[in-house]
C-alpha cells in the first residue's frame, strides 16, 4: 500500500500486513503528524437500525492510537526514479554528469527525494571522483597562479616545503586528487553516519549517507571560480549534505546540520583552546 503524508509530502510503500486491522490513522515518521489511513475512514452509524428500547446515546468507543510505523515497516518505493547519474548508459556520460551536477546544486530537495537509497557505491563514488578531482585541480591551479607566496608560506609551516620543492608538490597534489576525494567521501560519510547511528536516525543505512556525501561533491565545480568559489563551494556542499540527510534519512534540520558540522566545530575548538580560550 502506498502511503503519502498530506502534511509534508513524505511517501513510501508499506506492506498491508504491517497495518493493524483496527487502526484508522497513521503517524508520519518524518513530520510526526497524523492522517487518516486510506480506506479505513470512520463509517457513519446506520440510521435504519431497529429500535430495541435502548435510551440514551450509544457508548463512545475509545479512540485508537494512530499507527506509528517503525523503520522496517516502510519499504523503499520501487517508483524512486533515481538521479541522472543512475541512468548513465541511457543519457551518456556528459549529459548525465551535467544533469546530476545541476540537480544537486539547484534542486537538492527533489534530487535526494529521487535518489536511490541502496545499491553499489561505485557509481556515486565515481561521480565524486570526477567532479571532486576537477574542482580540486582548479583550486590548486588558481592558488599556484594567484597566491603562490601565501601557498608556499603555508606549506613551509605545515610540511617544511622549500621554494624549490613547491612545483613538485603542486604536481604531486594534482596527481593525487582522485585519491584525496575517495578518502574524503568515506571519512565524510562515516562521520555523518556516526551521529545518525548514535541518535537512531539512520533508518536508510550507511549506503544512503554515503550517497549523500558523494553527490555533495557537485558543489566542487564552483572551485573553478577564483577566490570567491572556495567559500561558496564549502557552504553549498554543507547545505547539500544537510538537505540530503533530511531527505534520505528522515533527519530533522537540526540533527542533519549537527551531523554535518560537528567535525568542523571540533577542529575550530581544538584550534581555539591553544590560543588561551576558556
211-243 confidence digits (pLDDT tens): 999 999 999 999 999 889 999 999 999 999 999
Structural domain contains residue 47: no
Q: What is the pLDDT of residue 177?
A: 94
Distance CA 83, CA 133 (A): 21
Structural domain contains residue 46: no
Same domain, 73 and 106: no
Distance CA 10, CA 27 (A): 11
Q: Which domain holds residue 73?
A: 1-41+61-79
Same domain, 138 and 71: no
Same domain, 133 and 227: yes
Structural domain contains residue 49: no
Structural domain contains residue 53: no
Distance CA 100, CA 175 (A): 25
Domain count, the chain: 2
Structural domain contains residue 155: yes
Query: Which of 52, 79, 106 is the last residue in one of the domains?
Result: 79
Distance CA 256, CA 261 (A): 9
Same domain, 112 and 247: yes
Q: Which residue has the cell 543512475?
A: 86
Structural domain contains residue 219: yes
Same domain, 237 and 107: yes
Q: What is the pLDDT of residue 75?
A: 46
Structural domain contains residue 55: no
Same domain, 119 and 190: yes
Same domain, 93 and 197: yes
Same domain, 160 and 29: no
Same domain, 120 and 258: yes
Per the document, the length of the chain is 278
Same domain, 72 and 88: no
Same domain, 135 and 246: yes
Distance CA 77, CA 11 (A): 8
Same domain, 237 and 267: yes
Residue 259: CB atoms within 10 Å: 26
Q: What is the pLDDT of residue 72?
A: 45
Q: What is the pLDDT of residue 39?
A: 67
Residue 172, burial from CB neighbour count under 10 angstroms (0-12, 13-18, 19+): exposed
Q: Report residue 272 CA to chain centroid gap.
A: 30
Spell out, as residue ranges, where the chain has pLDDT lower than 70.
1-2, 7-11, 13, 16-18, 30-31, 39-79, 271-278
Distance CA 150, CA 142 (A): 12
- Evaluate if pTM is beyond 0.85: no
Structural domain contains residue 159: yes
Distance CA 97, CA 215 (A): 11
Q: What is the pLDDT of residue 248?
A: 93
Alpha-carbon distances, residue 47 vs 51, 59, 134, 194, 259 (angstroms):
10, 16, 73, 58, 57
Which has the closest alpha carbon to 188: 158, 223, 224, 215? 215
Residue 229 makes CB contacts below 8 A (sequence gap 6+) with 139, 222, 223
Amino acid at each position: 500500500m502506498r502511503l503519502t503524508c498530506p502534511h509534508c509530502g513524505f511517501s513510501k510503500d508499506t506492506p498491508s500486513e504491517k497495518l493493524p486491522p483496527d487502526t484508522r490513522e497513521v503517524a508520519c515518521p518524518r513530520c510526526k503528524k497524523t492522517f487518516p489511513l486510506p480506506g479505513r475512514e470512520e463509517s457513519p452509524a446506520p440510521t435504519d437500525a431497529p429500535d430495541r428500547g435502548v435510551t440514551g446515546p450509544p457508548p463512545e468507543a475509545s479512540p485508537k492510537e494512530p499507527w506509528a510505523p517503525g523503520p522496517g515497516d516502510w519499504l523503499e518505493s520501487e517508483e524512486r526514479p533515481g538521479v541522472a547519474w543512475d541512468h548513465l548508459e541511457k543519457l551518456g556520460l556528459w549529459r548525465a554528469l551535467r544533469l546530476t551536477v545541476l540537480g544537486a546544486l539547484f534542486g537538492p530537495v527533489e534530487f535526494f527525494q529521487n535518489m536511490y537509497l541502496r545499491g553499489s557505491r561505485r557509481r556515486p563514488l565515481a561521480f565524486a571522483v570526477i567532479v571532486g578531482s576537477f574542482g580540486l585541480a582548479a583550486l590548486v591551479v588558481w592558488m599556484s597562479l594567484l597566491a603562490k607566496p601565501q601557498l608556499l608560506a603555508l606549506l613551509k609551516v605545515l610540511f617544511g616545503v622549500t621554494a624549490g620543492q613547491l612545483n613538485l608538490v603542486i604536481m604531486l597534489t594534482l596527481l593525487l586528487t582522485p585519491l584525496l576525494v575517495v578518502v574524503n567521501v568515506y571519512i565524510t560519510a562515516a562521520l555523518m553516519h556516526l551521529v545518525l547511528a548514535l541518535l537512531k536516525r539512520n533508518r536508510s543505512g550507511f549506503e544512503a549517507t554515503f550517497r549523500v556525501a558523494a553527490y555533495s561533491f557537485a558543489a566542487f565545480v564552483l572551485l573553478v571560480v577564483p577566490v570567491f568559489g572556495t567559500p561558496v563551494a564549502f557552504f553549498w556542499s554543507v547545505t547539500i549534505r544537510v538537505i540530503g540527510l533530511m531527505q534520505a534519512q528522515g533527519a530533522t534540520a537540526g540533527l542533519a546540520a549537527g551531523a554535518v558540522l560537528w567535525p568542523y566545530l571540533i577542529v575550530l575548538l581544538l584550534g581555539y583552546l591553544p590560543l588561551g580560550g576558556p
